[in-house]
């Protein structure tokens, strides 16, 4: 018999019973945990959406400079994906930057000696232009401490300054090795080059004094060694905080392909009366602020402890010389794939798993810092933050080495991941990504350790493109994130804090 009035009642009863069941499910025993691990691992091999999402992010949206329209489109796309995958409370968390920046052209050529050589250069982010074509002598600034600057007083007006000796590139074989910094292909070098070791405070003081000095002297531009093989360029930079001076009293700064920089350094080192002179033309645009940008947040609610959190994150912003595929489209799409896998696994976590796509990471971890400020009261209830941020390589370690008690616990909990290559639990998390913001807020912050997989070549360069993606290793990265997130969310207690 058709009784339509019973349908709403039945639905209410079913919903209440389902909610009661989820909220009062018993803790998983070891056998059930392993079975859940295997279910997640098997499901990850079926119909992965990582490469599809990464292709869309790289080709259709493109590079995602903080404050740009491309980043705005990417945040909207990321939120839509989270909703499509069934996450709860998907929303934007806005914060502001003081000014935006848009890259224009950057051209340079050698005019003395007149070899007809065009130089390969790229502006550093938030750097101004030269105000048109300028012909200028190229000189070396030999200064490693503030007192050294006096020797250059009155000699730098209208010149282009080389920032220091060329870096010494590691061999191709050394650059491809998995140990060491995931981003460094160079040894030594830097502005001023050589000199005694400085504390961070001394280094920052010297940087500030040098910048003021070069502005007052009227330097046209600063050139830095890109420090990469194959003529690749490099970019970085930031607005530097709310008190940064306006664009009118900053200096155009650009990276130069390593072999071209070496040539300029050799030429500038010739004895007088030989001189080195270039034509340079850089045009960038500043966009008045403040400009609103957004972190993208979504959750799988915890069934037993919804007010305790496991944060899984990556940064959505990128630099703009390439497509932003491996830095950090790969991490972004792994976070989304982790969300997809866990939302459909059929077993809710005890704690809430929160998925975060941070912005402004490339300019100084700004988005994750803003997250930690906004969620300050939740920090004592946040068990961990795990980020994926070094490209397409296979995950081989979990950066828990700075937290010995967590390290031992996770090594015993994540046995299922050893069979897919996660074997290093002793490595320290390092710096340079959004987990650092959480560590400073007192939360265990771990960065996944990965095989290099060309990352030192592609990092911040025009080679950061979709063809570098390795789908099977990205699937493995999602497997590591998904199992780790679920295991930590299901622990009896929050991960122990590192003792201060």
C-alpha to C-alpha distance for 428 and 349, rounded to whole angstroms: 27
C-alpha to C-alpha distance for 152 and 185, rounded to whole angstroms: 31
CB atoms within 10 A of CB 327: 26
- Residues 249, 72 contacting (CB under 8 angstroms): no
Q: Are strands 160-162 and 134-140 parallel, antiparallel or unpaired?
A: parallel
| pLDDT in 10s for each residue of the chain, 500 residues | 333 333 333 433 333 334 434 444 456 778 899 999 999 999 999 999 999 999 999 999 999 999 999 999 999 999 999 999 999 999 999 999 999 999 999 999 999 999 989 999 999 999 999 999 999 999 998 888 899 999 999 999 999 999 989 999 999 888 887 766 777 777 543 444 444 455 667 877 888 888 889 999 999 999 999 999 999 999 999 986 655 545 555 899 999 999 999 999 999 999 999 999 999 999 999 998 999 999 999 999 999 999 999 999 999 999 999 999 999 999 999 999 999 999 999 999 999 999 999 999 999 999 999 999 999 999 999 999 999 999 999 999 999 988 988 999 999 999 999 999 999 999 888 889 999 999 999 999 999 999 999 999 999 999 999 999 999 999 999 999 999 999 999 999 999 987 65
- Chain mean position to CA 412: 29
386 Rama sector, left if φ>0, alpha if ψ -120 to 50, beta otherwise = beta
Residue written as token pair 């030594």: 188
- Residues 348, 489 contacting (CB under 8 angstroms): no
CA atoms within 13 A of residue 482's CA, in its CB half-sphere: 30
Domains plus CATH for the chain? 27-100+289-489 (3.40.630.10), 105-283 (3.50.30.30)
Q: How far is CA 180 from CA 143, 274, 331, 437, in A?
A: 28, 41, 20, 22
- Tokens (6 digits) for 415: 């046995």
Q: List residues bridging with 357 in a β-sheet.
A: 296, 314
- Tokens (6 digits) for 188: 């030594």
End-to-end Cα spacing for the chain: 69
C-alpha to C-alpha distance for 57 and 48, rounded to whole angstroms: 16
């Amino acid at each position: 018999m058709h009784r339509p009035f019973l349908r709403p009642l039945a639905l209410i009863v079913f919903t209440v019973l389902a909610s009661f069941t989820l909220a009062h499910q018993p803790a998983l025993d070891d056998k059930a945990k392993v079975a859940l691990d295997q279910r997640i691992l098997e499901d990850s091999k079926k119909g992965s959406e990582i490469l599809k999402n990464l292709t869309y992010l790289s080709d259709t949206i493109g590079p995602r400079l903080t404050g740009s329209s491309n980043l705005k489109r990417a945040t909207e796309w990321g939120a839509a994906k989270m909703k499509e995958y069934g996450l709860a409370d998907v929303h934007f968390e806005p914060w502001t930057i003081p000014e935006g920046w848009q890259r224009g052209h950057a051209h340079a050529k050698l005019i003395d000696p007149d070899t007809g050589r065009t130089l390969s250069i790229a502006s550093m982010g938030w750097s101004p232009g030269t105000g048109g074509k300028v012909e200028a002598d190229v000189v070396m600034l030999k200064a490693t401490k503030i007192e050294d600057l006096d020797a250059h007083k009155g000699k730098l007006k209208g010149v282009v300054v080389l920032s220091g000796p060329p870096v010494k590139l590691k061999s191709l074989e050394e650059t491809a090795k998995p140990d060491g910094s995931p981003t460094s292909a160079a040894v030594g070098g830097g502005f001023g080059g050589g000199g005694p070791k400085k504390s961070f405070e001394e280094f920052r003081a010297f940087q500030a004094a040098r910048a003021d000095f070069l502005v007052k002297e009227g330097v046209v531009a600063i050139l830095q060694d890109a420090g990469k093989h194959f003529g690749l360029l490099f970019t970085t930079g930031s607005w530097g905080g709310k008190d940064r001076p306006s664009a009118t009293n900053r200096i155009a700064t650009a990276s130069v392909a390593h072999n071209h920089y070496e040539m300029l350094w050799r030429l500038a080192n010739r004895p007088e009366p030989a001189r080195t002179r270039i034509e340079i033309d850089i045009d960038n645009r500043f966009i008045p602020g403040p400009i609103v940008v957004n972190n993208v947040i979504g959750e799988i609610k915890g069934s037993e402890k919804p007010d305790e959190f496991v944060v899984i994150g990556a940064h959505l912003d990128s630099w703009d010389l390439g497509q932003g595929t491996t830095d950090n489209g790969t991490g972004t799409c792994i976070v989304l794939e982790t969300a997809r896998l866990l939302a459909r696994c059929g077993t809710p976590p005890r704690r809430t798993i929160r998925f975060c796509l941070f912005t402004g990471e490339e300019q100084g971890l700004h988005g994750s810092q803003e997250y930690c400020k906004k969620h300050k009261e939740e920090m004592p209830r946040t068990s961990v933050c795990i980020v994926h941020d070094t490209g397409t390589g296979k995950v081989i370690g979990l950066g828990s080495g700075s937290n010995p008690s967590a390290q031992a616990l996770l090594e015993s909990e994540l046995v299922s991941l050893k069979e897919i290559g996660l074997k290093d639990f002793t490595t320290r998390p390092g710096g340079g990504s959004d987990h650092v913001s959480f560590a400073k807020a007192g939360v265990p912050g771990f960065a996944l350790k990965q095989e290099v997989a060309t990352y030192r070549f592609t990092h911040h360069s025009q080679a950061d493109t979709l063809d570098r993606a390795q789908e099977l290793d990205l699937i493995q990265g999602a497997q590591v994130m998904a199992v780790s997130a679920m295991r930590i969310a299901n622990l009896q207690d929050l991960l122990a804090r590192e003792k201060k």
